[in-house]
Amino acid sequence: MNGPMLKIIIIGLDNSGKTSIINTLEQNLASYHALKPTVSFNIRDEFTIFGLPIKIWDLGGQKQYRDEYLTKKGFIFGATNVIFYVVDVQDPKRYSEAVEFFDKVINSLKKLGLPQVLVIFYHKVDPEIKYKVEIQANLVMLKQLFEEFPKSLNIHYFQTSIYDREELSRAFVAGIFKALPKTAIIQESLNDFMKNTDSEAVILLDENVLIIGEAVKDETSKIICEISGPFLSNMTEKFIKYDLHPPQVLEAQMEDGWLFQKPIQVDNNRFYVVFFTKQRTLDKINKYLPRLTEDLSNLIKYVISPD
């Protein structure tokens, strides 16, 4: 699939969790515990979203490297589409330092006149401590500090954790989508399909099994799709790998309804629609699923096409 390459920067203080975020998105959580600090910067280009190649610049957070980035701002920040700034919620002693460095990054961007998308991850909000008084107080403090920056900067904020991959993926993709405004039409297509088929939830996965679109009527049904979707998609990939010709539509009966998965081929990339219905409305599914498949194929090509 031909399209522009996106340059993504992940930046923040040392030990804020930047590299572990990338590894988690690559489904490599096991490597997290063996991570070493990133030396200067590491460019990783094995990632794609929507079939678009993404070059991720993982910038080390040690003080000497931070100073170097600001000195070489044209080289580091030039031609960047999205900047993810990662802050460790569990380390309040370094909040002032994190805000100070972010301010310097903003000033560098202003000097370059670059209109990058800015995303702040309030990171390490792990599920088991998320609602503890201390963490909630830290979040309030961080929001007060970072939300003092002008609204004209159009900064987007997310709470993230490597131990909640679905939310982390959703936050990452949402940040990417800010640089691809045409993705809104895909959301409309998923909403229409959910309505026309009486589905409870519909998700769209890309080749990395990242959720790149969703329409939700019922939260429990969404969770079913999020849990089942990656397994069904990986199973389909293995069928294809061994030339076993998987079914065009996978269907599974569950206690409270029916789960469906449909692969969509767009040039050399595969995407997956996963949806859950409480009733087996095959007449509506047979009518609208082929339309959705064709629409999404065309829309994905449109989204990544140069303006």
Question: Does the structure show a pLDDT above 70 at 80?
Answer: yes
Question: Does the structure show a pLDDT above 80 at 146?
Answer: yes
Same domain for 200 and 298, yes or no, is yes
Same domain for 136 and 212, yes or no, is no
Q: Can you tell me the distance from the alpha carbon of 297 to that of 294, in angstroms, rounded to the nearest whole number? A: 5
12-21, 39-48, 148-157, 232-241: range with lowest mean pLDDT: 39-48
Q: Which of the listed residues 143, 160, 179 is the one where a domain comes to its end? A: 179
Amino acid 28: pLDDT: 42
User: How sure is the predictor about 154, in pLDDT bands with cuts at 50, 70 and 90?
Assistant: confident
- CATH at residue 229: 3.30.450.30
Amino acid 45: pLDDT: 66
Same domain for 195 and 173, yes or no, is no
Please give the residue range of the domain that contains residue 226: 184-304
Same domain for 67 and 215, yes or no, is no
Question: Does the structure show a pLDDT above 80 at 9?
Answer: yes
Amino acid 35: pLDDT: 41
- Per residue in 52-68, pLDDT (tens digit) is 888 999 999 899 899 99
pTM of the model: 0.80
Amino acid 33: pLDDT: 38
Our count of domains for the chain comes to 2
Same domain for 80 and 154, yes or no, is yes
Q: Which of the listed residues 179, 212, 247 is the one where a domain comes to its end? A: 179
Amino acid 147: pLDDT: 85
Question: Does the structure show a pLDDT above 90 at 159?
Answer: yes
| 1 part of a folded domain | no
The residue with greater pLDDT, 98 or 239, is 98
Same domain for 18 and 115, yes or no, is yes
- Per residue in 186-200, pLDDT (tens digit) is 889 999 999 999 999
Question: Does the structure show a pLDDT above 80 at 270?
Answer: yes
Query: What mean pLDDT is reported for the chain?
Result: 88
- CATH at residue 101: 3.40.50.300
Q: Which two tokens stand for residue 240?
A: 């294809």
Per DSSP, the residues of 228-265 read HHHHHHHHHHHHHHTT----SSEEEEETTEEEEEEEEE
CA distances 135 to 127, 129, 152, 224, Å, are 11, 7, 28, 29
Q: Can you tell me the distance from the alpha carbon of 105 to that of 116, in angstroms, rounded to the nearest whole number? A: 12
Amino acid 264: pLDDT: 92
Rg, C-alpha atoms of the chain = 21
Q: Which of the listed residues 179, 211, 228 is the one where a domain comes to its end? A: 179
Amino acid at site 131: Y
Same domain for 83 and 109, yes or no, is yes
Same domain for 247 and 134, yes or no, is no
The residue with greater pLDDT, 265 or 45, is 265
The pLDDT of 143-165, averaged and rounded, is 91
The residue with greater pLDDT, 33 or 174, is 174
Amino acid 210: pLDDT: 81
| 154 part of a folded domain | yes
Question: Does the structure show a pLDDT above 50 at 29?
Answer: no
Amino acid 258: pLDDT: 96
| 44 part of a folded domain | yes
| 224 part of a folded domain | yes
| 64 part of a folded domain | yes
Per DSSP, the residues of 93-161 read GGHHHHHHHHHHHHHHHHHHT---EEEEEEE---TTTTTSHHHHHHHHHHHHHHTTS-GGG-EEEEE--
Same domain for 10 and 147, yes or no, is yes
Same domain for 189 and 175, yes or no, is no
Same domain for 159 and 35, yes or no, is yes
Amino acid 136: pLDDT: 97
Question: Does the structure show a pLDDT above 60 at 129?
Answer: yes
Question: Does the structure show a pLDDT above 70 at 234?
Answer: yes
Q: In percent, how much of the chain has pLDDT > 90?
A: 59
Amino acid 3: pLDDT: 58
Same domain for 155 and 53, yes or no, is yes
Question: Does the structure show a pLDDT above 50 at 22?
Answer: yes
